[in-house]
Amino acid sequence: MQEKLMDLKEAVASLVSDGDSIVLGAALENAIPFAATHELIRQGFTGLNMIAPISDMSTDMLIGAGCCNEITGAWVGNVSAGLGHNYRRATEKGIPHRVKVNDYSNFTLGMALFGGAYGLPYIAVKSLLGSDIPKSNPLLKVTDNPFTEGEDPVVLVPALKPDVAFLSMQRADRFGNAHYWGSYGLTQESSIAAEKIIVLADEIVEPEVIASDPSRVVIPGFGVNAVCHIPAACHPSPLIGCWTRDNEFFHEYHKLTRDPEGFEAWIKEWVLDIPDHAAYRAKLGERLEQFRIRGKALSAPANYAVE
């Protein structure tokens, strides 16, 4: 096995290029690796295509910072707080510039990434019939089911292969093997579909810990390009077993980014003026500690003994 521990700054610099299509958290509202969002903004990437079923505040920040030209997904906003102001400014007024939206529904985006992961050229679904989404997203094709006599329309969703996937995992070893639990959305499909995978691990553990439970592995370690040790990388989103959600942080962002100036100030304070995630955690200070999970509600063990 190859050691893959890397500084996040270095991982982002060496594995991401301008114009890449990027999955940055695909579990929906938990395990969003905001630490990677910050790093993409600090390094000033441009022309990114952000792919996610639910694009939360992370995508809104990338839009506002001018990193993102395109959004491929089913929903963009601020889940607990409302609309995404940068998203609206970009799509409605071209501030800071126009952003193209490739509309999907959750299920059809899931199928696109499933197809990308497992080499299927396209997937035929019965969703989105009658919806105008296939009109706004010309990648989708409405056609007839060749197995049925008479009319039986289906929507064909072509496979989608992201360039890079960033994922938050509860624990990983230095070789990129990781454990994840709780709902995972499209984590598995989107990262297997991706050309490169960067894991942000809340904790680095000995390889024996991961190897003790290969069914807890959601994406195979041998496909991972870099593993970065970033505690609370997902703040303010939750990570099951590690951190709860900092709801106020989402609301403050929503309130403070109503106008471009407010966003400029916010991004300066929380991203641009901060060198790395350690400094971000230091800035959060005691605030972060209130979201740390200290209780125990442990899983019953599974036995893999051979005799």
Q: Which residues bind its own copies (CB under 8 A)?
A: 111, 119-126, 141, 143, 145-148, 152, 154, 156, 158, 170, 179, 181-182, 205, 209-210, 212-213, 215-216, 240-242, 244, 293-307
Q: Interface residues for other proteins in 172-191 (CB under 8 A)?
A: 177, 181-189
Q: How far is the CB of 70 from other proteins (least distance, A)?
A: 14
> Within 10 Å of residue 163's Cβ, how many Cβ atoms?
18
CB of 132 or CB of 296, closer to its own copies = 296
Q: Which does 149 bind (CB under 5 to 8 A by kind): other proteins, its own copies, none?
A: none
Locate 212 and state its tokens: 């003790």
**Amino acid sitting at position 21:** S
Cα distances from 252 to residues 195, 201, 219, 267, in angstroms, run 35, 26, 34, 12
In DSSP terms, 200 is beta-bridged to 168, 228
User: For residue 92, what are the contacts with CB-CB under 8 A and spacing of at least 6?
Assistant: none
Q: How far is the CB of 212 from its own copies (least distance, A)?
A: 5
Q: What is the DSSP string of 28-59?
A: TTS---HHHHHHHHHTT--SEEEEEEEE-HHH
CB of 285 or CB of 301, closer to its own copies = 301
Q: How far is the CB of 151 from its own copies (least distance, A)?
A: 13
> Within 10 Å of residue 29's Cβ, how many Cβ atoms?
16
CB of 36 or CB of 113, closer to other proteins = 113
Q: How far is the CB of 15 from other proteins (least distance, A)?
A: 17
Q: Which does 300 bind (CB under 5 to 8 A by kind): other proteins, its own copies, none?
A: its own copies
Place of tokens 């999907």: 104
Q: How far is the CB of 143 from its own copies (least distance, A)?
A: 6
CB 127 within 8 A of CB 144: no
**Distance between CA 73 and CA 147 in Å, rounded?**
30
Q: Interface residues for other proteins in 86-105 (CB under 8 A)?
A: 87-88, 91-92, 101, 103-105
CB of 29 or CB of 264, closer to other proteins = 29
Triad 131, 134, 139: Cα angle to 5°: 160
The phi-psi region of residue 159 (left if phi > 0; otherwise alpha if psi is between -120 and 50; otherwise beta) is: beta
> Within 10 Å of residue 264's Cβ, how many Cβ atoms?
15
Q: How far is the CB of 134 from its own copies (least distance, A)?
A: 14
**Distance between CA 299 and CA 240 in Å, rounded?**
13
Q: Which does 287 bind (CB under 5 to 8 A by kind): other proteins, its own copies, none?
A: none
135 near other proteins, judged by CB under 8 A: yes
Q: Which does 19 bind (CB under 5 to 8 A by kind): its own copies, other proteins, none?
A: none
Sketch the per residue contact string, 44 through 83, with other proteins: x for CB under 8 A, - otherwise.
Answer: ---------xx------------------xxxxx-xx--x
Q: Which does 39 bind (CB under 5 to 8 A by kind): its own copies, other proteins, none?
A: none
Can you tell me whether residue 143 is helix, strand or coil?
A: strand
CB 123 within 8 A of CB 111: yes
Q: Interface residues for other proteins in 204-233 (CB under 8 A)?
A: 211, 214-215, 217, 220-223
